[in-house]
Structure 1
Amino acid sequence: MMEPRLQRAAARVGNAVLWVAAVLGVISLVLGLATVVAGVQPLIFRSSSMSPAIDAGALALARSVEAKDLATGDIVSVIGSDGVRVTHRVVKVDRGADDQVSLVLQGDANQSPDEEPYVVTEVDRVFFDVPYLGYLANWLASPWAMFVAGILVALLIGSFFRRPGTGQQRPGVGAGIAVVVAAVGLGAGTLSPPPTTEAYFVDNSTFEAGTIQAHQVRIFDWDTSPCTNNADGSVTLRYKLTSARYDMVWYRGPKGGAISTRAFLTVAPSNPTVGSVVTTKITRATLANGESLAAGTYMISGRSKLKGSATSAWLSTSDRQTEVTVDATTVRCGDINLPPTLTIAAPLEGITYPSTKAVDVAVGLACLSLPAPCGTAVDPNGISSVEYRLQRANWLGTQCWDPKIGTALPPGFYLAGCGTWRTPTTSPDVPNTSGSTVTWRVPLGSGGPRTTFNQSGDYTLYLRITDNASPTRATTERTIRFTVD
């Protein structure tokens, strides 16, 4: 039998945990009731485009108002044409016919307004915010909160049905009320999670282990005919759009020398369709960009840039390069290093697999009986490196695959390390210079589930393949998304 002193200490700890859970339940319940009864919209800020007024991780409250009642300086939350919720400050209001209003918005941390105006009749206007509370609200809306609520209910029921004579008292009315409040509040929070709001210059941010992780800007791809000479002495570059949110920024430098950090051309694609071909005509005057340009051989370097100027440019880490020759009046195409060719045997983009067994079978058939993503890469210059990130999002949150090679821990999906690029198994080993096809596979590690699809969820596979050309290596990037039910 437990000593009375230890018994009292355990009771005090239990009561403290109980009342903390009750407070969390009250917060969750208030947020839910505010949404349903008072028409208040809670918003979790996932980035800092509104800093210092509202920082990342804050929880804001907004109420729907008619757009005609808005004024410059209001902070409003709207849904953009891409379906992303954006919360920024109103910098201009244009009133149109009927009740329609065109809003120009800008984040306090941004140097310029958002790319598109928002035509609305009503919006959510922010009237209150609390720093850091968004992290808590995000957890309260998770399945973990429902799990905690279930444990509390089970403990309450067990305590009321405890047999007499055990030396322990049944919980009082206050404790019972606390458990009920915690269970109802936490359970209600998971049923109606507060929406998150993005920063305009952050693309698809996600919570990872209590931190904000920004999406990496993807470089565009060359078309099948990347550079052609024109009769007027100019050249035309052709490349494929990877996101409607990107512009293409072009830099130049002498062959064998440093590429300038000053762009000579920024291209905003007129067709926002992903995969559409963008054509850019470059004359000698365009390349010079108002500067003196000596005859010779130059490297043109292109990067993807997220639309909307932030405090610093959000550029792709990789670039696309082509060589051009310049004389007194013309510019002509030179050598071009095309990026590696990448194939993904399995899994397939956009597929919903009905079960973990189904995805194991499908991937196993394509990947020699091993249920892990695989494919090939090839480049005439050889392959310098192959890197991957495999991410899963489900009721446990966002986790990333780690084979734990060389450690005592088992392979599996972990909450930490989602920003780490990992090395797959390759055959032959890389780097190589032969130009032969390299087969790559996400490693399973030793022990563990022996599969990378042991739970249902939304999966994302990121791949980055770099060729072995020197000194201007080229990189191919791919993102594959699929679902396991």
Structure 2
Amino acid sequence: MSETRRELRRTREREQHTERAAKGRAGGTLELVGRIAVWSAFAMVMVVVAATVVIPRLMGAVPLAVLTSSMEPTMPPGTLVVSKPVDPASLAVGDVITFQPVSDNPMLITHRIVGQAHKADGALSFTTRGDNNGTEDEPIIEGQVMGKVIYSVPYVGYVTTWLDREQRGWMVGAFGALLISYAVFTIMRQMLRKERT
């Protein structure tokens, strides 16, 4: 009789061990999926932060959002363009620039240069047009050119239009705090698991 009990106990222990192992594999898979999701989200946020804050600041450039369809399909609404001040003499037909359509007016437009000329007084002037526009803009002079577009990132411009500079700073800080909290939680959980085994 005692031999039968031992055999039953061993069978029960094997079943429990198999059940725990199966739960561990399922938990491990979910944990892996969770880690991949967290690190993917972190990577996406870091790309957005780099594109909108870090890289422009390091290059002395300005991030701006495309608000209209005038530059479609190259730069649809919601595209983030980073425009860097350059010597207007270095600009050529085909370059995309950011300019003030009216001198000393804060409104900015980002369009492609389709022509350039020297005025009688020697000043350089540019003719621009949006890629999606049928007509050219009024010619502008060198002093109206704010910069040349050095890169653009689709959809990221929406973030800059939804959030002002201070809000973006808070968002980056909050995400950093969440990431640190997740790291601490993961380390603590691993330490507790080691203590149990």
TM bucket (normalised to shorter chain) is 0.5 to 0.7
State the shift of 1:88 in Å: 0.9
- Call closer, same or farther: CA 1:155–1:120 in 2, change over 3 Å: same
**Local SS of the residue matching 1:105:** strand
Q: 2:36 aligns to what? A: 16
Q: How far 1:67 moved relative to its partner?
A: 0.9
Between the aligned partners of 2:126 and 2:195, the Cα distance in structure 1 is 64
Deviations 1:34-72 (A, max 9, x none): 212233444432221012332223333433221122223
* 2:182 corresponding residue in structure 1: 155
1:371 paired residue number: none
Q: Name which of 133, 146, 168 aligns with 1:110.
A: 133
Tell whether the 8 Å contact from 1:28 to 1:137 is kept in structure 2 after alignment. Answer: no
* Contact preservation (8 Å) 1:99, 1:121: no
1:86 pairs with 2:109: yes
How many residues are matched? 168
Taking a change above 3 Å as real, the CA distance of residues 139 and 11 of structure 1, as seen in their structure-2 partners, is: farther
The Cα shift of 1:15 comes to 0.9
**1:121 Cα offset (Å):** 7.1
One-letter amino acid of the structure 1 residue matched with residue 27 of structure 2:
Q
What is the 5 A alignment of 1:160-309? 160-161=187-188, 164-166=191-193
Higher helix share: 2
- Greater gyration radius: 2
Q: Let me know the Cα RMSD of the aligned residues.
A: 3.8
CA contact (8 A) 2:78 2:154 kept: yes
Give distance in 2, aligned partners of 1:60 and 1:54: 8
The equivalent of 1:38 in structure 2 is 59
Deviation of 1:145 after TM superposition, in Å, equals 5.0
Residue 27 to residue 164, structure 1, CA distance change in 2 (3 Å): closer
State the Cα deviation string for residues 397-440 of structure 1 (Å, max 9, x = none). Answer: xxxxxxxxxxxxxxxxxxxxxxxxxxxxxxxxxxxxxxxxxxxx
Matched residue of 2:31: which SS? helix
**Partners of 1:66 and 1:122 within 8 A in 2:** no
TM-score, normalising length: structure 2: 0.63
Which one-letter code corresponds to 1:120 in the other structure?
A: G
Q: Which runs of 5+ in 1 are unaligned?
A: 170-485
Structure 1 contact 96–102 (Cα < 8 Å) conserved: yes
**Higher relative contact order structure (alpha carbons within 8 Å, sequence separation ≥ 6):** 2
2:179 partner amino acid: L
Letter in 2 for 1:147: A
Q: Secondary structure at the match of 1:65?
A: coil
Structure 1 length-normalised TM: 0.29
Q: What aligned pairs does 1:66-465 form with structure 2 within 5 A after superposition?
A: 66-81=87-102, 82-95=105-118, 101-115=124-138, 117-120=140-143, 123-135=146-158, 142=168, 144-161=171-188, 164-166=191-193
Change beyond 3 A, Cα 1:111–1:164: closer
> What secondary structure does 1:37 align onto?
helix
Residue 164 to residue 69, structure 1, CA distance change in 2 (3 Å) = closer
Out of 86, 100, 117, the position equivalent to 1:65 is 86
Shift of 1:155: 2.3
- In the alignment, structure 2 segments of 5+ residues that lack a partner are 1-19
**What per-residue deviation string (whole Å, max 9, x for no partner) do you get for residues 220-250 of structure 1?**
xxxxxxxxxxxxxxxxxxxxxxxxxxxxxxx
Deviation at 1:20, TM superposition (A): 0.9
Alpha-carbon displacement from aligned partner over 1:188-222 (angstroms, at most 9, x marks no partner): xxxxxxxxxxxxxxxxxxxxxxxxxxxxxxxxxxx
Choose from 19, 27, 52 the match for 2:47. 27
Q: 1:129 to 1:78 in 2, by over 3 A?
A: same
CA distance in 2, matches of 1:5, 1:136: 39
1:135 Cα deviation after fit: 4.2
C-alpha distance in 1 between matches for 2:44 and 2:121: 44
Relative to structure 1, the CA distance from residue 9 to residue 38 in structure 2 (aligned partners, 3 Å threshold; closer, same or farther) is same
Q: How far does the alpha carbon of each residue in 1:7-49 deviate from its partner, in whole angstroms, 9 at most, with x for none?
A: 2133112211221123124313432332122334444322210
1:59–1:134 contact (8 Å) kept in structure 2: yes
**Structure 1 residues 83, 122: CA separation in 2 closer, same or farther (over 3 Å shift)?**
closer
